[in-house]
Amino acid sequence: MAETDPDSPVPLSADRLCPTCAIDSVAAAIASLPDDSAPADTAKDDDGFIGQDRAQRALNLGTRIPHRGFNIFVLGPEGAGRHSLALKVAKEAAANAPAPDDWIYVHDFKTEWVPKALRLPSGTAIRFQKTVQFLIDRLRREVPAMFETDAYRERRRRIDEDQTQKTEGEFEAISKRAGEQGIGIMRTPMGFAMAPVKDGEVVKPEAFAQLPQEEQEAYQQKIAALQEEMAALLREVPEREQKHRAEIRALNAEMAATVIDAAIAHARKGFEGLDVALKRLDEIRADLLDKVELFVMDDGKGGAGAFPEAMVPITEDRRFRRYLVNVIVGREPGEGKSAPVLYEDHPTLARLVGRIEYLARMGALETDFNMIRPGALHRANGGFLVVDANRLIREPFAWEALKRALRAQTITIASPGQEMNMLSTVSLEPQPIPLDLRVVLVGERRLYYLLVELDPEFGELFKVQADFEDDLPLNADAIADYARLLRRVAAKTGLKVPDPAAIAAFIDEAARMAGDSERLSLRVGDLTDLMREADYWAGESGRGAIAGEDVRRSIEERTYRADRLRERWHERIDRETVLIDTDGRQVGQINGLSVMQVGGFAFGSPTRITARVRMGSGRVIDIERESKLGGPLHSKGVLILSAYLLANYATDVPVSLWASLVFEQSYGGVEGDSASSAELYALLSALSGISIRQDLAVTGSVNQLGEVQAIGGVNEKVEGFFDICAGRGLTGTQGVLIPQSNVKHLVLRRRVVEAVRAGDFAIWPIATIDQGIALLTGAPAGRRGPDGAFEAGSVNAAVEARLAGFAETRKAFSAKGNGSDSENGERSDDDG
């Protein structure tokens, strides 16, 4: 009945198993293309952006709209050209935007630990840095030379002599008066001492004690008066020394000012009208005059001596680093006038917002404003920054730092230690730099939706979603686009030009990558890599162009390189280590199909699914779930098939079934519902007692209405069972049942297509469980008649009869006074 039923499935013809791009269509498409020397269409250019109009329009908006918060998140599959298109559109927008200002850090002479950030016109910072460096280097040579002139030495000698003569003159006057009074003044390690003197000799203490009392008192009074006078003189000495140093400092400043002013005036000539630079030069002049002693080392002879640092480069001279300029963002005059576009490949916190470096010296860490290093935000400021979102999220503190910068519109340099409040030492706190740029994050769809869901700030900062397409419809326009793309990529990368047959083969592979006979994959990066391999094989064969056979050989070689695990797994089946039947019939046993993913390589393989039934309390046990090997989607599929079974059979009696389902010899996790139809077929076979063909394999999920639904990986699943059958020898009766809705996804390899064309293998599209069970058993599925009963001799009738028999047996068993289930000892909810 299954073969004559108009609803019975018909095996697919070979022509429906794989789309074949006709070479004539490709040749016509190539002929319609404009000359390769003509400018590329902006929507369909040579960089591999075909079919991405939606993403490109989003990028155009995000890179051109001036309002705050319109940063961009580019989401889509790997290999679709996300980074390339983002950079391309950003560069186009940057070409029409002005070059941003330069930024420098300089030492703040008032608050030394807070370096000042100064803005300069574009192209000015580096020139200003060199000017200041030349200025300081010039001064550290010319100012010391001025201090060695005779004029300076003479004026310095006069100041020193005035100080010495005045102090020594007053000391001599006190000494003279003391001598006239018979008192001697002597220098001791403890200072000055006074004692009576007679006949040129100091009176010793024992001799002084023998003098008359009146004479002793007279000496004591004289000594006290002289000591007071000497103390007054000594109290004045520090003040006089301070005044002396001030006079020398004033002399040094006066003499240095002539040289410094001349050098500063020369430096100012290149920055007329630039107030920031001129003000900085004035600040440098004032500090140099205030610290003019930096230039000289007193030789103790009224002259100057050279510091040891005078011979080192100016950038290493620790005396003058405070005056230098640290360029954070600066452009050379010939670098162009457009806004910057930067791709940051390693977005750590330091590479993003900048860092402060330290130098180990004498066991301590030292730093200054010259050791501030810019980050990607500094270099891209005023333009566009493209960052890989996955890498950004993985870096500690980087994501929060980026959000903070975008919110505050400033760049604040912070170290991980500061972020974690682990540093208590004094360090630099550079002034924040205003931020004005557009950030483009490139990442996966899953990451985008996670950020939308979990980060409330994300939506405010990234308002533009540039969603890349995975594929595009296969039509004449798509063929022309792919032909244009492949030929121009070949020209751009120096590869051999693909001929029409090669382009057709590439398009067929694009459909395979899309997993859809009506669409083409937009993972152009993978196709470009395939073209490079095909170019190699064309060269090995001595061809000047890439031919179709070169593309097919590249695909075969690529598969062979990744095929070791598939071969080993299928070898286990061939050697009957893993039990799979490909002929005969079995009750409650069926070949399900699964896909194994290893890295970027996927392959299909059959798995034996078995079902066992008996009287019970209405439980369908999923052994995978019970053993915690089944995922939630697989468990959902088992629950759905259970619902279908219990709602369609023996609905007028209590459910009295106990059943178990298992993937035999499965030792890893099982996920997905694509085997739920196969599990249901095995269960129906076990209940009806009707055997199932083992030369057929099944894939497809089932809903509660008994409809077979589409699944993923249909091509790999079909090829997996085919390879097992081919290894054992094709019989002409073997085949695969797939959901009817998956027919459009078939893009099978040539070995399967040729076997179907030769009648050695078959692929059956199935729409309902009834269609599938009829094909698998060879018996009619059976429909309910007007009396509500299934057709006699049908699978459904046998299933319902078995379930009704379970109910009757259970009722009779319960009537004997035993209200518990025999299989598990638990009381049933259905016991009457």
Per the CB < 8 A criterion, the answer to whether 223 and 203 are in contact is no
How far apart (Å, rounded) are the C-alpha atoms in residues 676 and 685? Answer: 14
| 759, two tokens | 């009648």
End-to-end Cα distance, the chain:
41
Amino acid letter, 779: A
DSSP H or E segment with residue 309: none
- Residue 345 main-chain phi, psi, to 5 deg: -80, -25
8 Å CB contact between 227 and 219: no
Question: Phi and psi at residue 124, in whole multiples of 5°?
Answer: -100, -30
**DSSP string covering 592-628:** EEEEEEETTEEEEEEEEEEEEEEE-SSEEEEHHHHTT
Measure the CA–CA gap between 49 and 191, rounded to whole angstroms.
92
Cα(184)–Cα(200) distance, rounded to whole angstroms? 9
3-state helix vs strand vs coil in the chain, percent to 5 = 50, 20, 35
Taking the C-alpha atoms of residue 613 and residue 652, their distance in angstroms, rounded to an integer, is 20
Identify which of 194, 190, 169, 168 has the alpha carbon closest to the alpha carbon of residue 179: 194
Report the alpha-carbon distance of residue 62 to residue 380 in Å, rounded. Answer: 16
Token pair belonging to 495: 């590869």
Please report which residue ranges of 541-575 form alpha helices under DSSP H: 548-561, 564-574
Strand partners, 70: 462
Q: How far is CA 411 from CA 355, 374, 639, in A?
A: 11, 10, 55
Q: Is 494 helix (H, G, I), strand (E, B) or coil?
A: coil
How many angstroms separate the CA atoms of 499 and 508, rounded?
14
Residues 340, 397 contacting (CB under 8 angstroms): no
Q: Look up residue 161 and give its two tokens.
A: 């002599």
Separation CA 448–CA 463 (nearest Å): 12
**Any idea which residues carry the catalytic annotation?**
674, 717
Strand partners, 809: none
CB-based contacts of 659, cutoff 8 Å, min separation 6: 611, 612, 613, 614, 616, 619, 620, 621, 683, 686, 687
Q: What angle do CA 135, 140, 145 make, to 5 degrees?
A: 120
Tell me which residue has tokens 């039990």. Answer: 579
**DSSP assignments along 706-745, one per residue:** SBEE--S-HHHHHHHHHHHHHHH---SS-EEEEEGGGGGG
**Exposed / middle / buried, residue 503 (Cβ in 10 Å: 0-12, 13-18, 19+):** buried
Encoding tokens for residue 766? 């199935």
Say if strands 297-298 and 304-305 run parallel, antiparallel, or are unpaired.
antiparallel
Tell the residue number behind the tokens 């910072």, with chain if given: 125
Check if the beta carbon of residue 608 is closer than 8 Å to that of residue 661: no
- The burial of 259, by beta-carbon neighbours within 10 Å (0-12 exposed, 13-18 middle, 19 or more buried), is given as buried
Contact 731, 764 (CB under 8 A): no
Tell me the C-alpha distance between 91 and 498, whole Å.
30
Please state, in angstroms and rounded to a whole number, the distance separating the CA atoms of residues 46 and 482.
Answer: 10
